[in-house]
């Protein structure tokens, strides 16, 4: 669902999706959000690269680690595009985690391992990354240049 939001002096668009716990729909969900963000005035580089990568990684993590591939669960996505940039929230139905416990994948002894790379990419590409206290919701901010 795409809903225009209006705040004091700001025109914003909010995009909300409920995504099933199925990795095969991640690309379609990311494409849908990116198209709406482009149409809402998000700079093309931000929508076509940064947003796509951070959203795809957050969705995959929510599906695999959060919902543990349970087909009875879903992931909620809410993206708000405004004058100053974009805020994307991805919330799974899992128990959550402590993001400070995720090891740095660039450490020499972790280079061959695949885990931790998605969160590393998100932190490199987003201007701001926050988690809720439970650890089952990630909030990513991409500011306009």
Domain boundaries defined on the chain:
2-143
Percent of the chain surpassing pLDDT 90:
72
pLDDT at 18: 98
Nearest-angstrom CA–CA distance, 127 and 144: 10
**What is the pTM for the complete model shown?**
0.89
The mean of the pLDDT values for the chain is 90
Task: Give the residue with greater pLDDT, 74 vs 83.
Answer: 74
Q: What is the pLDDT of residues 112-133, one digit of tens each?
A: 777 768 999 999 999 999 999 9
The CATH architecture of the domain made up of 2-143 is 2-Layer Sandwich (3.30)
Helix boundaries (H) for the chain = 26-39, 44-45, 52-61, 117-125
The answer to whether residues 114 and 129 touch, using CB atoms and an 8 Å cutoff, is: no
For residue 64, pLDDT beyond 90: yes
For residue 8, pLDDT beyond 60: no
Contacts of 142 (CB under 8 A, 6+ apart): 42, 46, 50, 51, 54, 85, 86, 88, 125, 126, 127
pLDDT at 111: 76
């Amino acid at each position: 669902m795409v809903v225009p939001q209006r705040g004091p002096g700001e025109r914003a668009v909010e995009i909300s999706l409920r995504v099933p716990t199925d990795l095969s729909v991640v690309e379609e969900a990311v494409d849908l959000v990116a198209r709406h963000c482009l149409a809402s005035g998000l700079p093309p580089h931000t929508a076509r690269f940064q947003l796509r990568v951070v959203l795809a990684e957050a969705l995959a993590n929510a599906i695999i680690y959060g919902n543990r591939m349970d087909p009875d669960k879903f992931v909620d996505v809410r993206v708000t595009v405004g004058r100053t940039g974009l805020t994307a929230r991805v919330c799974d139905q899992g128990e959550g985690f402590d993001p400070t416990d995720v090891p740095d994948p660039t450490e020499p002894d972790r280079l061959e391992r695949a885990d931790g790379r998605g969160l590393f990419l998100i932190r490199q590409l987003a201007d701001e990354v926050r988690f809720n206290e439970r650890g089952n919701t990630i909030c990513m901010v991409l500011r306009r240049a």
